[in-house]
Amino acid sequence: MKPHSVLMLYLGVLLLPVSEGNGLPEVKSRERRFLLGNVLDWNKRPSGDNEVPASRDSSVVDPELFCQGGCLDGWISYLGQCYMFVQKRETWEEAERTCQRKVTGGHLTSVSSAEHNDFLVSLATYHGQQTAQFWTGGSHKKGSSLEWTDGSGANFLQRPLSSILHVFGEAINSFLHSRICLKINLGGQGNWDGSDCKKKLPFVCSYKPNLTPP
């Protein structure tokens, strides 16, 4: 099985939705571990054995997670966008320039929903074994709302902006009128945090593939 396919299936397993209100979250958790174990075991099988690992319920995997193709090699597809986790530590501005150089239309990733945030956390967790935080394309300057480098609207906020920026961000904005940049913490269940943009962190790039036939 190709490593790229294994990665996509791994991410899909991590992002399997847990039904709310069914009173059985521990059952869903065990099912996720069961499926992930199958994926890893299958990857160790001889290359000539193409038997697909059985799952208890194939309906728990959303096919939309895997069917949005068209990404360049090394990029992971998720709901019509392509993503790459970059382990090299750079400042926020350096990271944005790197994303732009990697591919036409590339930027640091925006975050459009809680599920999207979970995907990014899974992507970073899979690649960044020593990563605790990573840059997104979000930033904030005093007197403005949250902005994304890819031009996306700030339609999703994990929690109030003042809470995300904390005292650190508010103090810097008040005295220096500087920009505060948005990072995601892996150790805090994917919580957002404001940070000095000069800090060097890994990051996630994204772009929208051109699916129009040549």
Q: Which two tokens stand for residue 52?
A: 């697909």
- Taking alpha carbons only, the member of 94, 178, 184, 99 closest to residue 138 is 184
Average pLDDT of the chain? 71
116 and 169 inside one domain: yes
- pLDDT digits over 26-40, tens only? 333 333 333 333 333
| 204 pLDDT tier (thresholds 50, 70, 90) | very high
Identity of residue 46: P
Alpha-carbon span 85 to 14, nearest angstrom: 16
Boundary-marking domain end, from 18, 33, 64 = 64
Evaluate whether residue 51 is within a structural domain. Answer: yes
The whole domain housing 108 covers: 80-207
113 and 193 inside one domain: yes
137 and 52 inside one domain: no
88 and 170 inside one domain: yes
Q: Are 179 and 197 in contact (CB under 8 A)?
A: yes
- pLDDT digits over 97-154, tens only? 999 999 999 999 999 999 999 999 999 988 876 789 999 999 988 767 889 999 999 8
201 and 115 inside one domain: yes
| Interior angle at CA 101, CA 95 and CA 106, nearest 5 | 75
- pLDDT digits over 37-87, tens only? 333 333 334 444 433 333 333 333 344 443 346 899 989 999 899 999 999
User: 């299936």: which residue's tokens?
Assistant: 9
56 and 89 inside one domain: no
Evaluate whether residue 214 is within a structural domain. Answer: no
Q: Are 147 and 140 in contact (CB under 8 A)?
A: yes
The CATH number linked to 106 is 3.10.100.10
pTM: 0.66
98 and 133 inside one domain: yes
Number of structural domains found in the chain: 2
Q: Are 196 and 179 in contact (CB under 8 A)?
A: no
108 and 181 inside one domain: yes
Cβ burial, residue 138 (10 Å; 0-12/13-18/19+): buried
